[in-house]
Structure 1
Amino acid sequence: MITVTLTRNGSDRRIVKFEVSGHANYAKRGQDIVCAGVSAVTVGTVNSIEAVAGVNLPYSIRDGWVSSDIPTQADSSVDERVQLLLESMAVMIGSIQETYGKYVTIQEQFVQ
């Protein structure tokens, strides 16, 4: 199963970190559309944050795992764009979860 963990700031609900781990095991390697979908959404979001918001997002990636701590941007308009893209990622993964909930789960946790 793929687990997507969104860590949010408890006061303003900003996404301050995300982590995606595991494998869907929906189909064999190279044919797993669930894994491919979640991978495309998460890596695409990191790339979009760089291209659209101009922010080089620090992240780590390896087989079956990607994680990023989201820095607060000094420019509030840039920070809003980053958050919009992250919320879009959450919606897209949520859509995948609706159809393939046996293979993908989203968890939210809150920090102060």
Structure 2
Amino acid sequence: MIRVNIERTRSRRKIAAFAVTGHALYGKHGHDIVCAGVSAVTVGTVNAVEKLTGVSLPNEMRDGLLKVCIPEDTDEALSVQIQLLLESMVVMIESIEEAYGKYIAIKTTITEEGG
């Protein structure tokens, strides 16, 4: 199963980080549409943030894992753009979960600002 954890700040509910772990096991390796969809959405979002805002998102990526942190010291206008792209990612992942809930689970955790 793919597990997606969206970490939000307590006060403003901004996305502070997200992590995607596991494999869907919906289909054979290389032919798994759930894994492919989640990968396209999440990696595509990281690439879109970096290309459209110029902000590099610290991340760790390897087989079955993508962890991304959102820099806290980003200019407010850029932060708004980044959050819009990230919220769009969440909507897309939720759409995948609606169709393939047996293979993907989304969880939101709340964190304090700055930590």
Find the counterpart in structure 2 of residue 55 from structure 1: 55
One-letter code of the match for 1:8?
R
Q: Structure 2: any 5+ residue segments left out of the alignment? A: none
Find the counterpart in structure 1 of residue 12 from structure 2: 12
- How much has 1:73 moved relative to structure 2? 4.0
Question: Does 2:92 match 1:92?
Answer: yes
Deviations 1:32-59 (Å, cap 9, x if unpaired)? Answer: 0000000000000000000111101110
Deviations 1:9-37 (Å, cap 9, x if unpaired)? Answer: 01100000100000000001011000000
Equivalent residue pairs, number: 112
Find the counterpart in structure 2 of residue 110 from structure 1: 110
Q: Structure 1 stretches (4+) deviating beyond 2 angstroms?
A: none
- How much has 1:62 moved relative to structure 2? 0.3
Cα distance between partner residues in 2 of 1:96 and 1:17: 20
Name the TM-score, length of structure 2 as normaliser: 0.95
Question: What is the aligned-residue RMSD (CA, Å)?
Answer: 0.7
Question: Does 2:72 match 1:67?
Answer: no
Cα distance between partner residues in 1 of 2:109 and 2:64: 21
Sequence identity, in percent?
54
Find the counterpart in structure 1 of residue 35 from structure 2: 35
Cα distance between partner residues in 2 of 1:56 and 1:70: 9
Q: Structure 1: any 5+ residue segments left out of the alignment? A: none
Find the counterpart in structure 2 of residue 77 from structure 1: 77
SS in 1 for 2:79: helix
